[in-house]
Structure formats: C-alpha cells, structure tokens
Chains A and B, each alone.
Chain A
Amino acid sequence: MYEGVVQDLIDELGRLPGIGPKGAQRIAFHLLAADPVDVRRLAEVLLQVKEKMRFCEVCGNVAEEERCRICRDTRRDPSVLCVVEEPKDVVAIERTREFRGRYHVLGGAISPIEGIGPDDLRVRELMERLADGAVQEVILATDPNLEGEATATYLARMLSPLGLRVTRLASGLPVGGDLEYADEVTLGRAFEGRRLLDA
C-alpha cells in the first residue's frame, strides 16, 4: 500500500479494462513524475468525455449531440444499414470509405458466458428502426468470431420475416479476431463481396 492518493490512483486505474495491477502502478508513477501541464490536460479530457459525449439516440454510436455525425449527414444512404458490435467498428469501416449507408451499434455480442443476451444489446432499437420500411438492406458486420457469428445468425432469423435483404461480410477477414484488426483493404473487400444470408 502506498501513501495517500497515489494508492487511490492505482486502485482507480486498476479498475479500467486491460490494465492489471502492475500496469496501474506504472501509469500512476509515470503521472507522478510527469509535467503538470500534461496531467492537467489528461484530467480535462477525462472530464470532458463524460460531460460532452454520449451515445447517439438513433444508432448508438458515440456522439457529441443527440445524433451522431453520421446520422446527421443527409448524404448518407438511408436504405442500407450496417450492424456492428462497437463504436470502434464504425471507425474501422469508415476508414475503408467503402460504405455510404448508416450504422446500428449493438453494444456487444451475444455471450451467455458473460451473461449477455439479446435484451442487453440494442436489438429492440434495431427492430424499431426497421419498422418504417425505409431500410432495404441490413449488413451484419459483427466480429468474425464465434460470438459475432452467433449474433449474426440470431439477427438474420429475427429479420427474415421482414423481407429485407440481409447480408453478411464476405469471409476472408481474419477468422476469430475483431473487425477492427482487419486492414482497410481486407475490410473493404469483405464489404464488396458480402453475401446474402438465408436464415
């Protein structure tokens, strides 16, 4: 145990995903030794991210306003909807410049082991978005791993009575990985070669 607030900092950092006790200690001592200006800037963005950012009411992506930049952009094609697990997948797909439609962020994938079922994802919101018939194609771009595939299978079956075009990204993505790890060219090709799912 360290004296005073240093231990509090280590404890707080240790609570963050991907940071173990050793990493938390290293970051804490790095901050202790760092230039006060840098530390102040870090503290400010930490506060701002909570004050200014929220999740888009329509698609679930991170947004500075009620609706995110993509949902506000009238040039985006409202007839194609790309369903992804996380906001970082939106960033990865945007990088390819292959896709001009809109997104729907689920907030994860189905995984009973982690206690995540469809009610914990933004599935109901997805169904509501599709109700008005404006969307003609839904691209299921969940991760190319088991949980992502199972989520895609589940959604494809939910969507099949709606009579939409339901597609899945072409294989060729690194299997078992995250969408965000695929390079732009591979991901772009996966979009072009997407195939129709028959649920």
Chain B
Amino acid sequence: MYIAHLSLTDFRNYAGVELPLEPGVTVFVGQNGQGKTNLVEAVGYLATLGSHRVPNDGPLVRSGATRSIVRGDVVRDGRHALIEIEITPGRSNRARLNRAPVSRTRDVLGVLRTVLFAPEDLALVKGDPDTRRRFLDELLVARTPRLAGVRQDYERVLRQRNTLLKTAAQASAGALRTLDAWDAHLARLGGELLAARLATVEVLQPLVAKAYAHVSPAQEEARIDYRSGVELGDATTAAALADKLTDALAERRSDELRRGVSLVGPHRDDLLLSLGEFPAKGYASHGESWSMALAVRLAAYDLLCGDGGEPVLILDDVFAELDSARRSRLATLVAGAEQVLVTAAVPEDVPPQLTGVRHVVAEGEVRRVG
C-alpha cells in the first residue's frame, strides 16, 4: 500500500499543507527543526492513532489552534481509502472514512499500516518494558484491528481495578465483592491479549534473527522472547491463558490489596531481546543496540508484508545514527518496498540506493525539488 496524498491542518508547525505522494522512495531534507519528523509523525498517526514521540495528543496541535486535522489518501491494490482524523486534545478524536463518520475512531485502524523507524527506537533495546509492550501491541493491532478494542478494555479494567484496590481500605464489603467481577474480566481480556502477543512473538522470532543477520552479519544470533510475570506453562489459547491469570490473581490477592495496585497481567510483562547468550539491555554496545532496534522494526515490517498489505515504511533520521556499512545494508533491504518515506537533515546521509522524489522542508512548508 501507499499514501497518495497527505493533508495537514494545524498539525505541529504546519498551518496547512497539501502533499501529493508517490509509490517508491520519497526523501524529505531540511535543517533541524523545520518539520520533517512532524510530517512522518502525522502519517504514523493515521495508522496507529498515536504519535511515536509523545504519549498524548496535546503537543500535536499547532500552538494557538484548538484542533488538528490529518487526512491521508491510502491506496491499496488500486483502491483508494480516505482517512480523516480530527485531533482535539482532552476530548475524543473524531474520524471519517471515505467521508462517512465512523462510530468509533478506532474503526479506521488497519486501513493504513506503517512501520516507523526513528531515533527513539533505541529505547526498544535500552528503555523500559512499556516501550517494548507498546511496540508489540501496536503490531498486534496492525495485524488484527479488533484487538484495539481488547487493548482499550484491558486498560480500562486496570484503571477500574486499581481504583478499587487503592480504596480497598475504606471500601465497603459490598464494593470489595466486586473485585471478583473485575478479576473475571481482567483474566478474560488479559488472556486474549496474551494469546495474541505469544502468537505474534512466535512468528516474529525467526524474522528478528534473520533481520539482525542482514543488518549486522557475522555476529551472534539475535532472539526475541516473551517474558511473563505469570507462570504460563504451555498454555497458548486465550481461554487457557485466562485460567492461568485467574489462578495467579487468586494467589496474589492479598499482595494486591496490601499494595493497592494490579500486580498480575500482561501489563507487567516484557520482551527479552538477546544477542547470543546475553540480554541486549545492559550488554550490547551502542552500535549493536542500534542494529537490534533496526532488526526488530524490520522483522515487524517483514511480518506485516507476510500477512496481507505491505506497510508504508518510514525512516525518520535513522541513517545519521548508523555507520556506512549498516547504512547501505539497511538501504538495500528497504529499497524495494512499495513506499518508503525518508527524512534526513544532511542529504549526504541518505545512501545512494534510495533515489526517488525529493522535497525540501523549511519552516513548515514543503517544496518538491526533484
């Protein structure tokens, strides 16, 4: 798939921009702070309903404006789909698909798929577990958009349950009895989320190893494994995993009441990335960490290509971080993709394999130069 047109109103530093795009490689160059990343951030938003840089929508709206509009014309197998999202921080976003309002914004998920490489990706290796969980969950939703609802409901169960646990000391006996009801739904939704995560990690595993070998040949083998705080045994189905969670919840009930927070469930889990026998976090060098982060994103790209609808590839400022050998290997890997959007502050950082349309970005204006 590819984006044929991107249009922004009051998004970041853009008052208004209309940008026709083509399949193949498009490079955005321009000095620091001109709006290159803002463009690709908007594309990512259309795919995930979130920014890869900030956890909430406030900073996305141009200062002085009250809402942003992001529009993208997505072409898949020759058919056009127009996604429009109005971002109003503090309120729920509104979305339209082919000019018809959708009942829930998340109904537009799955129309556009992207895989975005960014300097922030180093956090996949070096950062906290929530960065890795978010990576995995976004991948699940890209594969199976229905899971966006499961994820949202799971977050909501957690908030409800944590509120109840926090007030447990003052809560009435009646209120405490509702904890069992929340447990049932935490286990049900958590089981579904876990089943999808485990299945995705299983298919991702060989792809990560392959991608790492491409990016960084003649090094140790890269692995990705799911690490759950709950003993899962050989359970793989949502129902069997829900049973495991139910048992664990019963076991930890008194701990949870004492600490006033949910200690059991997929929100406590992590992905273990390792090189050879060592975990990447804490052991890998800076360059190895970068290769690992790239390999994880490339594997996600590979996975999405494999199950219907090649995603749009976005490379935000990544070449600047890589040595010339890794640069050119990455360029070769992605050069054949249906659409690649690249940003760079220094045009020379973009490897020569990636030739295509070129735009200059300056002060919130985009101008085609080649």
Contact = CB atoms under 8 A, between A and B. Distances in A.
Interface of A: 110-113, 117-119, 123, 146-147, 149-151, 153-154, 157, 174-177
A198 to B, nearest CB: 12
B171 A111 contact: no
Given A150-B182, A157-B181, A176-B104, A113 B159 contact: yes
Nearest to B162: A112
A142 B130 CA distance: 33
A67 to B, nearest CB: 27
Interface stretch (B30-38, B51-59, B172-180): B172-180
Contacts of B161: 112
10 contacts: A112-B178, A117-B172, A118-B175, A146-B153, A150-B157, A150-B178, A151-B181, A153-B184, A153-B185, A175-B149
B252 interface: no
Contacts, number: 57
B167 interface: yes
B181 A112 contact: no
Contact of B163 (A112, A147, A177): A112
Nearest to A154: B181
Contact of A113 (B149, B160, B175): B160
B61 interface: no
B103 interface: yes
A118 B39 CA distance: 49
B178 A154 contact: yes
A176 B182 CA distance: 16
A150 B174 contact: no
Given A112-B167, A146-B153, A153-B184, A117 B174 contact: yes
B164 interface: yes
Contacts of A177: 103
B156 interface: yes
A119 B171 CA distance: 11
Interface of B: 103-104, 149, 153, 156-157, 159-161, 163-164, 167, 171-172, 174-175, 177-178, 180-182, 184-185
A112 B185 contact: no
Contact of A119 (B104, B156, B167, B175): B175
A118 B163 contact: no
A33 to B, nearest CB: 27
A150 B185 contact: yes
Nearest to B155: A146
Nearest to B152: A176
A136 B104 CA distance: 38
Tell which of B104, B164, B174 has the most Cβ of chain A within 10 Å.
B174
B330 to A, nearest CB: 40
B149 to A, nearest CB: 7
Given A111-B160, A112-B163, A117 B185 contact: no
B180 A117 contact: no
Nearest to A177: B103
A59 B161 CA distance: 29
Contacts of B163: 112-113
A128 B174 CA distance: 16
Contact of B160 (A123, A150, A176): A150
A119 B181 contact: no
List of 6 A-B pairs having minimum Cβ-Cβ separation, nearest first: A117-B175, A154-B181, A112-B163, A112-B164, A153-B181, A118-B174
Contacts of B172: 117, 119
Nearest to A151: B181
Nearest to B161: A112
Contacts of B167: 112
B183 to A, nearest CB: 9
Nearest to A117: B175
Residue among B103, B157, B178 facing the most chain A CB atoms (10 A cut-off): B178
Contacts of B156: 146
